[in-house]
């Protein structure tokens, strides 16, 4: 067992590594090193916390750590890149549920300490945490109760919200917004009851208040995310990331664990910042996303004229062979088809033929921020030709051919042309301004969000139907 000095030093080192990890993830070239910073930091945190003063029951702790590590490793190895958003949502749910359990345990220990004090017994017979609670003054115990309430509320909301987000991302739950009769009023009533229960608990009510508080919070998380449409899921995932961080920080205060406080605050603040960035990229108000998603429209959507004109691989190849500049817009359809390696090979062949090839990445492409960047990096697409929306939008009018692979909302002109569209005002990639647009798509459906796209009916658009990987593989040999 190590002294508190060693544990504090390790906590500082782990915190620095976590900060370096977050900073490095902003750059594709440094991302792998940043991930290792996080891995080493977490290893330090776990080992030195487990060896710290007052920690025991290693006969139970060590098998649980090993079992968790093995399960995590096996699950992560089996999860494809297309399923990474679902995995992230699932991991958020674990943090939320852990916060609820820790908060319940903390209050039970608080009650045991108070009972021992009333009988003038020895607190040492209980856990290390109970001994810690015993050192607290009455006002500090009140603050502990506030921490418990906050941890239960935010943890429970995070748990059920993340479970529903997982279901929507995995296609196990309908992606359309759904609410019970009463809509947001139910959430408001549940939140009000949570506040009343918290007040009752702080004034001496029994443990039952925390159980009912958790049940109501579970409902709020479920109903809140059920009411958010699939198109808003990237923001929801980053929001839940923030929630899980604040839940971790809350239990850090409860356990007097400085490292957990710092780590939770890092995750919570970075998730909140990311949520803000995502909402800005979608021209959405954060509260409107959380409370309703791509909710309603102010009137009927504009009528779409024309028809979708199909093209075969030979026609696409002819357009590419005659082009000098090509822009590729990847979307979730590319991830589902696992077409990134085929796209990388197409890019290599086009560049070898003297074409200028670049990628246009919308901030909310895919189901998770940075999803497309990770897939392209995995396929070894050069970083310098992968550009963000703001960097490439002005170049699209001078582009000969744009290839859209499995994208819908992020290239939808209705965002600019139709004030009644659910995505009205959302910044999009203006691919229709290029000379030719090739849309690689499975069929004529509206996609994950259910929003029709006028781009598919424009005169300069051709629909290249089929599985993205098969379509690109068919196309590659025809490039001269």
Residue 127 zone, left/alpha/beta (φ > 0; ψ -120 to 50; rest):
beta
66 Cβ contact list (under 8 Å, min separation 6): none
How many other β-carbons are positioned within 10 Å of the β-carbon of residue 206? 10
Spatial distance between the Cα atoms of 175 and 105, rounded to a whole number of angstroms: 36
3-state secondary structure of 453: coil
Residues belonging to the active site: 409
CB 449 within 8 A of CB 408: yes
Say if residues 163 and 91 touch (Cβ distance below 8 Å): no
CA distance 14 to 266: 12
Contacts of 17 (CB under 8 A, 6+ apart): 37, 38, 40, 41, 44
Rounded CA separation 22/37 (Å)? 9
Could you tell me the two tokens for 130?
């109970």
Instruction: Write the DSSP string, 302-353.
Output: PPP-S-PPB--HHHHHHHHHT-SEEEEEE-HHHHHHT-HHHHHHHHHHHHHT
Give the residue carrying structure tokens 């508190």: 4
Judge contact between 355 and 325, C-beta under 8 A.
yes
CA distance 21 to 32: 9
Q: Which two tokens stand for residue 434?
A: 């290029």
Contact (CB, 8 A) for 334 and 405 = yes
What is the rounded CA–CA span in Å between residue 461 and residue 443?
15
Query: Using CA atoms, how far apart are residues 355 and 397, in angstroms rounded to an integer?
Result: 17
Phi, psi (deg, nearest 5) at residue 323: -90, 150
Q: Which two tokens stand for residue 273?
A: 């910042």
């Amino acid at each position: 067992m190590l002294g508190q000095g060693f544990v504090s030093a390790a906590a500082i080192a782990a915190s620095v590594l976590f900060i370096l990890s977050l900073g490095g993830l902003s750059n594709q070239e440094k991302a792998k090193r940043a991930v290792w910073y996080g891995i080493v930091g977490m290893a330090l945190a776990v080992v030195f916390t487990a060896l710290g003063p007052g920690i025991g029951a290693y006969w139970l702790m060590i098998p649980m750590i090993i079992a968790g590590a093995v399960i995590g490793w096996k699950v992560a190895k089996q999860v494809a890149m297309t399923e990474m958003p679902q995995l992230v949502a699932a991991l958020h749910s674990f943090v939320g549920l852990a916060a609820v359990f820790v908060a319940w345990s903390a209050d039970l220990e608080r009650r045991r300490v108070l009972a021992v004090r009333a009988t003038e017994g020895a607190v040492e017979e209980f856990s290390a945490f109970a001994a810690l609670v015993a050192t607290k003054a009455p006002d500090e115990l009140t603050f502990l109760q506030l921490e418990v309430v906050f941890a239960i509320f935010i943890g429970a909301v995070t748990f059920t919200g993340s479970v529903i987000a997982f279901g929507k991302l995995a296609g196990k739950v309908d992606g359309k917004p759904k609410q019970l009769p009463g809509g947001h009023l139910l959430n408001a009533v549940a939140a009000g009851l949570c506040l009343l229960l918290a007040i009752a608990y702080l004034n001496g009510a029994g443990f039952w208040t925390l159980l009912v508080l958790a049940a109501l919070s579970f409902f709020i998380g479920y109903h809140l995310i059920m009411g958010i449409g699939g198109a808003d899921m990237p923001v929801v995932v980053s929001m839940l990331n923030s929630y899980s961080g604040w839940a971790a920080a809350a239990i850090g205060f409860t356990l007097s664990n400085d490292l957990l406080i710092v780590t939770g605050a890092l995750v919570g603040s970075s998730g909140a910042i990311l949520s803000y960035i995502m909402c800005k990229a979608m021209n959405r108000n954060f509260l409107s996303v959380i409370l309703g998603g791509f909710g309603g429209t102010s009137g009927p959507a504009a009528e779409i004229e024309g028809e979708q004109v199909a093209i075969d691989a030979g026609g696409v190849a002819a357009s590419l062979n005659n082009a000098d500049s090509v822009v590729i817009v990847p979307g979730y359809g590319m991830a589902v088809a696992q077409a990134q390696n085929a796209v990388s090979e197409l890019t290599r062949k086009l560049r070898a033929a003297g074409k200028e090839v670049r990628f246009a990445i919308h901030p909310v492409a895919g189901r998770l921020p940075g999803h497309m960047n990770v897939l392209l990096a995995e396929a070894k697409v050069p970083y310098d030709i992968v550009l963000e929306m703001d960097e490439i939008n002005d170049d699209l009018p001078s582009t000969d051919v744009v290839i859209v692979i499995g994208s819908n909302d992020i290239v939808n002109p209705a965002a600019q042309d139709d004030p009644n569209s659910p995505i009205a005002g959302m910044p999009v990639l203006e691919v229709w301004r290029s000379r030719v647009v090739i849309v690689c798509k499975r069929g004529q459906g509206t996609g994950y969000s259910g929003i029709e796209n006028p781009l598919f009916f424009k005169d300069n658009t051709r629909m290249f139907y089929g599985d993205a990987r098969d379509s690109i593989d068919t196309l590659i040999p025809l490039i001269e």
